[in-house]
């Protein structure tokens, strides 16, 4: 009796890999063991690779540009927030400065001899002086400072000249009288000083430049990388 030999089941073909997979993706038949890829297929693959590399380069450049723009926008927003926080009290400070002006005007209308003759008036004026001083202390603690203008050179960035006065005893362009004090909020001008400026005097001499401080010499380095003149104990 003849025994039938079982036929082994057909093995599934292994998926193409390497160059075969690349050729299959490009629409070409896989390469056999003794075959080499056709020149046309290799050229097509190289063209595809070049196109993908160019596209990757473009996408990377777009990503870096978008990242830079995002960082710049964040920096601008941070600067705006810092500026708004730093100068948020500008309008409130202007209102308090107006109160300080009125206190100063009240004191100017009280003659010194009247204060000496009238004890009650002197006490009232002293209270106004203390109130004015306290108000200016509060302003200074919050970054609002008075501009020192008297006998200073006229600065159009800080002063508003309302009149010129003949005064040959001081250089021309000197503030000889302050009609209304100016104020800064940190480094920002919130009110210029109203001043009277001299004329007819000698020409102002330019301020001498500040002497330059020579840079400190760098310490000499030994070939081993240490500083010359220093000994390091390496026996331990």
| Assigned domain for 126 exists | yes
Domain count across the chain: 3
Q: How many CB atoms lie within 10 A of CB 143?
A: 15
> 218: which DSSP letter?
P
Task: Say if 50 falls within a structural domain.
Answer: yes
- Asked if residue 235 is part of any domain, the answer here is no
pLDDT tens, residue by residue, 107-155: 888 888 888 888 899 899 999 999 999 999 999 999 999 999 998 999 9
- Confidence band of 30 (pLDDT split at 50, 70, 90): low
Q: Which residue has the higher pLDDT, 89 or 214?
A: 89
pLDDT on residue 231: 44
Burial of 136 per CB tally in 10 Å (0-12, 13-18, 19+) = buried
For residue 151, the domain's CATH number is 2.30.22.10
- 13 inside domain: no
CA-to-CA dists, residue 13 to 25, 42, 96, angstroms: 17, 24, 90
Q: In 3D, which of 177, 113, 102, 157 has the Cα closest to residue 135?
A: 102
> What is residue 67's three-state secondary structure?
helix
Are 59 and 105 part of one and the same domain?
Answer: no
Q: What is the average per-residue pLDDT within 188-197?
A: 93
Residue 196 has pLDDT above 90, yes or no: yes
Task: Specify whether 76 is located in the same domain as 66.
Answer: yes
> Is 167 inside a domain boundary?
yes
CA angle 12/18/23 to nearest 5° reads 90
pLDDT in tens, 166-177: 888 888 899 999
Q: 161 and 131 in one domain?
A: no
- Structural domain boundaries, residue 44: 39-86
Collapse the DSSP code of 183 into the 3-class scheme (helix H, G, I; strand E, B; otherwise coil) and give the result. strand
113 and 151 co-located in one domain:
no
């Amino acid at each position: 009796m003849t025994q039938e030999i079982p036929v082994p089941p057909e093995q599934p073909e292994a998926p193409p890999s390497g160059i075969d997979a690349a050729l299959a993706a490009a629409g070409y038949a896989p390469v056999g063991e003794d075959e080499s890829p056709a020149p046309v297929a290799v050229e097509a693959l190289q063209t595809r690779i070049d196109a993908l590399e160019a596209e990757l380069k473009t996408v990377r450049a777009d990503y870096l540009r978008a990242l830079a723009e995002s960082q710049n926008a964040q920096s601008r927003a941070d600067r705006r927030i810092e500026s708004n926080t730093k100068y948020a009290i500008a309008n409130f400070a202007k209102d308090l400065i107006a109160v300080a002006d009125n206190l100063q005007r009240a004191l100017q209308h009280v003659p010194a001899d009247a204060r000496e003759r009238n004890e009650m008036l002197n006490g009232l004026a002293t209270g106004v002086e203390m109130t004015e001083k306290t108000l200016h202390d509060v302003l200074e603690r919050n970054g609002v400072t008075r501009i020192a203008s008297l006998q200073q050179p006229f600065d159009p960035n800080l002063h508003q000249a309302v009149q010129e006065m003949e005064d040959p005893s001081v250089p021309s362009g000197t503030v000889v009288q302050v009609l209304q004090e100016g104020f800064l909020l940190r480094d920002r001008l919130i009110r210029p000083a109203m001043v009277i400026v001299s004329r007819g005097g000698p020409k102002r001499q330019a301020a001498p430049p500040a002497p330059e401080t020579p840079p400190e010499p760098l310490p000499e380095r030994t070939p081993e990388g240490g500083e010359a003149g220093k000994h390091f104990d390496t026996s331990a």
